[in-house]
Copies of this chain bind each other. A is one copy, B any other.
Amino acid sequence: MNIAVIGSGLIGQAWAIVFARGGHAVRMWDGDPAAVGKALTLIAGQVADLQQAGLIDAPEALLGRIQGCQTLEEAMAGAAYVQENLPEKLEIKKEIFARMDKIAPPGTVLASSTSSIPASAFTAELPGRFRCLIAHPVNPPYLVPVVEICGAPWTDPHVVQEAWDVMESVGQKPVKILRELEGFILNRLQGALLREAFKLVEQGYVDAEGLDVTVREGLGLRWSFMGPFETIDLNAPDGLADYAHRFGAMYTSIAKEQTSTEPWSEALIAKLEAQRRRVLPTDQLLARRAWRDRRLMGLAAHKKAADNEAK
């Protein structure tokens, strides 16, 4: 399949790797003509890291499937699927989708990586709005496989399924979101947990490091291979309903203390920032991000092996 990647920043680069790793021919374009060349260099570096981590086999073949293009038309020529990754501004999304909708034949799927703008906000006026939707990755998608697929009310369900199939064909884990909503699923879940986390530190029950330990040495372990529903389904003798009946009253009682909607105060943000800087000084942020990516690579390799063993 030919796939166009529009925008060659961090997300565009990562998508190019994902699609090329999955065997597709990728054409990449950027509004800034110099950007694509730089992106190809950065992609080569990422691919070398992935090879070293044992996550890809044939780096040259993969890189050979990624081609830089000088015009949007050239990038989209023959593409069955387009993944757009321009900056998170409504006007930019409106403009690029209008251009793409003019260029692409009606059978081409037009997907945006946006994490914050619903498809209905920038596709309403387009003749081809039925083939437009969101395919929201988590950065970097070659290490974090989930992709949130969310159409506008007018998106054709077959197009949603096509996008889902493309993602599955390249080893991603697509999730269908059935109605538009702010933050999609992932960030709404993250927001719910962060709100309680911020409040527990604000009210002096625990410090930031203690809370992180609680998750990374406890709660996060099961969630990294099961998710919250399977976790509770296996945590009561007779499954999820049994769990809900055993612990529902406790969670309802706790929920009554989890209703705050105040913005995080500057004092609280400063307190948490100070606690983080004691654990990790500012000048070590960059190195720690590289560590995080190595850990994600190691975890991806571990999960792949564990999944294969279970088969």
Determine if A220 is an interface residue (Cβ-Cβ < 8 Å).
yes
Beta-carbon contact of A223 and B224 below 8 Å: yes
How far, in angstroms, from A189 to B191 measured CA to CA in the complex?
11
Binary flags per residue of A153-177, CB closer than 8 Å to B gives 1, else 0: 0000000000000000000010111
Tell me, yes or no, whether A34 is within 8 Å of chain B by CB: no
Cβ of B228 and Cβ of A224 under 8 Å apart?
A: no
Mask of A252-270 contacts with B, CB within 8 angstroms, 1/0: 1111111111111000011
Contact residues in B for A310 (Cβ distance below 8 Å): 291
Let me know if B189 and A272 touch, CB within 8 A.
Answer: no
**Pick from B194, B214, B223, B261: contact of A148, CB under 8 Å:** B214
Contacts of A225 in B (CB 8 A): 216, 220, 295, 299
Q: Give the interface of A toward B (CB within 8 A).
A: 116, 138, 143-146, 148, 173, 175-179, 181-183, 185-197, 200, 203-230, 232-234, 238-241, 244-245, 248-264, 269-270, 272-273, 275-277, 279-280, 282, 285, 288-289, 291-292, 295-296, 298-299, 302, 306, 309-310
